[in-house]
Copies of this chain bind each other. A is one copy, B any other.
Amino acid sequence: MALEHAILVSLDERAGTGYELARRFDRSIGFFWAATHQQIYRTLKRMVDLGWVTCHEEAGTGRPDRKVYEPADAGRAELTRWLAEPGEPETIRHELAVKVRGASLGDVAAVVAEVARHRGLHAERLDAYRALGARDFPDPSGLTGRRLHQHLVLRGGVRAEQALVEWCDEVLAALREDTRR
């Protein structure tokens, strides 16, 4: 139940519409918390009911009215409460690992191909994160406060993707070696 909280963090960085939030969830914040626009619209509505955000409509010139959301005091209080609350470590759902574990029951070569494909996707993400880091944080050593926090999260993404690329490489080497015998 942290979509609300991810939205509050994002809105605190800058107020915006549901549509804009959905785009942010496709990029920065979405790298570690995914959400679709339908989820976001529904959640924003609930958050207005809870008094966590305020919404002021800007009558559109023809387009649907823009509904710009901003965090309210109750929302900031809720965030503060949640930040201090202990949470569970993430529940992992690693589909590719299930495939590797089941490889001997199907076509091992097909699983090798799938691992190779994922290796490529993770390497791409790793590059994207590194490019983002180089662009937005050219001198990471001097960061403080919010900018430091943003950078640390990006570092987490880099580490996660790096670990995945290395694991894929280990799997590929081992499975290819095993096939050769």
Instruction: Give A contacts to B, CB under 8 Å.
Output: 2, 5-6, 8-9, 12, 29, 31-34, 76, 79-80, 82-84, 86-107, 110-111, 114, 117-118, 121-122, 125, 144-146, 148-150, 152-153, 155-156, 159-160, 162-164, 166-167, 170-171, 174-175, 178, 181
Contact = CB atoms under 8 A, between A and B. Distances in A.
B32 A152 contact: no
Contacts of A9: 98, 101-102, 105
A84 B107 contact: yes
Contact of A83 (B34, B103, B145): B103
A127 to B, nearest CB: 14
A159 B153 contact: no
Given A107-B80, A167-B156, A114 B86 contact: yes
B87 A8 contact: no
Contacts of A93: 2, 32-34, 90
A97 B170 contact: no
Nearest to A110: B84
- Residue of A97, A106, A111 with highest tally of chain B CB at under 10 A: A97
A34 B98 CA distance: 11
B166 A152 contact: no
